[in-house]
Amino acid sequence: MATINLTLDTRRAKRDGTYPLVFRIRHENSFCDIATGFSIQRNQFDKKTSTIIKDTLSNDQLEELRKHYFKRLKSYLVTNVGKEEIKELKQFLINKLHDEVTITAFWNMHIESLRIAGRNGGARVYENSLNGIKTAINLDVPFSKINYKVILLLEEGLFKRGMTTNGIGVYMRSFRAICNKAIDVDVIGNDWYPFRKYKIKKAKTTPKVLTIEELRTFFQLDLKPYDKLYTSWQIGKLIFMLRGINLKDLILLSSKNVNRNRIIYKRSKTGKIYSVKLTDEIQTILSSFDSGDTLLGVFKSNDLKDGQQFVLDYIQRRKVINKHLNLLGKLTNSSIEISTYVFRYSYANVAKQLGYSKDLIAEALGHEYGNSVTGIYLEQFDMKIVDEMNDEIYKSVC
């Protein structure tokens, strides 16, 4: 007699430390797994109840999927008495699923999976892409209904809505990733793939950068702590001085990231480790913040517990900071509209103007550079050289 149960496949962890949730089919002494698209930590799974702890929505979705498989399982056993083969049984369940799981349902399951894994920023990107694409085409259909022609119609529809080439590219990359995942978890066969002929377009953009003179004017502003623009001014300087640190990573820095005279942190987007010298100038700016759970004190520990709410709060805070930076740009007669990303691009631009190599700049910014072999040798760049470059870049604008 064959059985099907939800279980956590702990044989091999994924890169983010999570394990895939699977439906395990057992028949006599054999078993095989059907992927669910969910991945969670060990401590998030209740073995006794076969559920995700404190996640009713995801459990409801998984239960519906389990019921579907169980119904199909009984149907198969009735018509194949005494000749059940585990591989044939799995294929029977999967093949029927092709025409029953809609793209919207599968996409939403992936969004929930990202949220469970704590990747709330990524979940928001996929959610926005799903909502945007649904305004142009119907996604409440099986994957088999989507083909190359539909993808072209989608692109045309998004252009008619006034979206930019790169904006459409974000949607298309999300859609392509969902299609790949559907194939990976056997929701649809390998022979189906609407993106095989379609190439996602990308328009070249010129990064907005501040000149050395404009940066010098920005750094030399004389703002008082009670000025409403003061905090955003300090944040702008920190982003530049910490080698173009991402705003989110800066806001989340805590005392745990300080090791002797260095700030060491993992980039939330890429997982790459950064190590930046903690200079007296950086320490002076940090001391101007009311630090607590984080060095800047912008968010408290309680604010970080609800991942989805934190993403919304962070986006709102970023809008305010960018609005203030734009006002500071007008105050300094900047030639461009200043935002947090401008300081990262400007850091690289100043380094280039000072004659530093692309490899050294890439190391400072945490970019990949060169071919795979060259990258191995350059991966452990002498931090003293990077620190010296960072000092020279700071001196050039102060």
Is 248 found in the same domain as 387? yes
In 3D space, the residue among 268, 243, 258 whose CA is nearest the CA of residue 348 turns out to be 243
Domain end point (choices 53, 70, 98): 98
For the ranges 234-243, 308-317, 362-371, the lowest mean pLDDT is seen at: 362-371
In 3D space, the residue among 164, 207, 210, 166 whose CA is nearest the CA of residue 326 turns out to be 210
Torsions phi, psi for 27 (to 5 deg): -145, 115
Is 149 found in the same domain as 168? yes
Is 159 found in the same domain as 50? no
Is 225 found in the same domain as 164? no
Is 367 found in the same domain as 314? yes
198 found inside a domain: no
Domain boundaries, position 309: 212-397
Q: Return the higher-pLDDT residue of 42 and 70.
A: 42
pLDDT of residue 84: 55
Is 174 found in the same domain as 123? yes
pLDDT of residue 324: 95
203 found inside a domain: no
What is the pTM assigned to this prediction?
A: 0.63
Average pLDDT of the chain to the nearest whole number: 82
pLDDT of residue 79: 59
Residue 270's pLDDT band, with cuts at 50, 70 and 90, is: confident
Is 31 found in the same domain as 125? no
Q: What is the pLDDT of residues 100-155, one digit of tens each?
A: 678 998 898 888 888 877 778 888 899 999 999 998 999 988 888 899 999 999 99
187 has a pLDDT exceeding 70: yes
Q: What is the pLDDT of residues 382-392, one digit of tens each?
A: 678 888 888 88
DSSP 8-state code for residue 306: S
Is 171 found in the same domain as 124? yes
Is 272 found in the same domain as 138? no
For the ranges 28-37, 92-101, 137-146, the lowest mean pLDDT is seen at: 92-101
| Alpha carbon 198 to its chain's center | 24
Q: What's the structural domain count of the chain?
A: 3
Write out the two tokens for 373: 């072999």
Is 256 found in the same domain as 163? no
179 has a pLDDT exceeding 60: yes
Contact 264, 253 (CB under 8 A): no
| Alpha carbon 148 to its chain's center | 27
372 has a pLDDT exceeding 80: no
What's the mean pLDDT in 208-226? 91
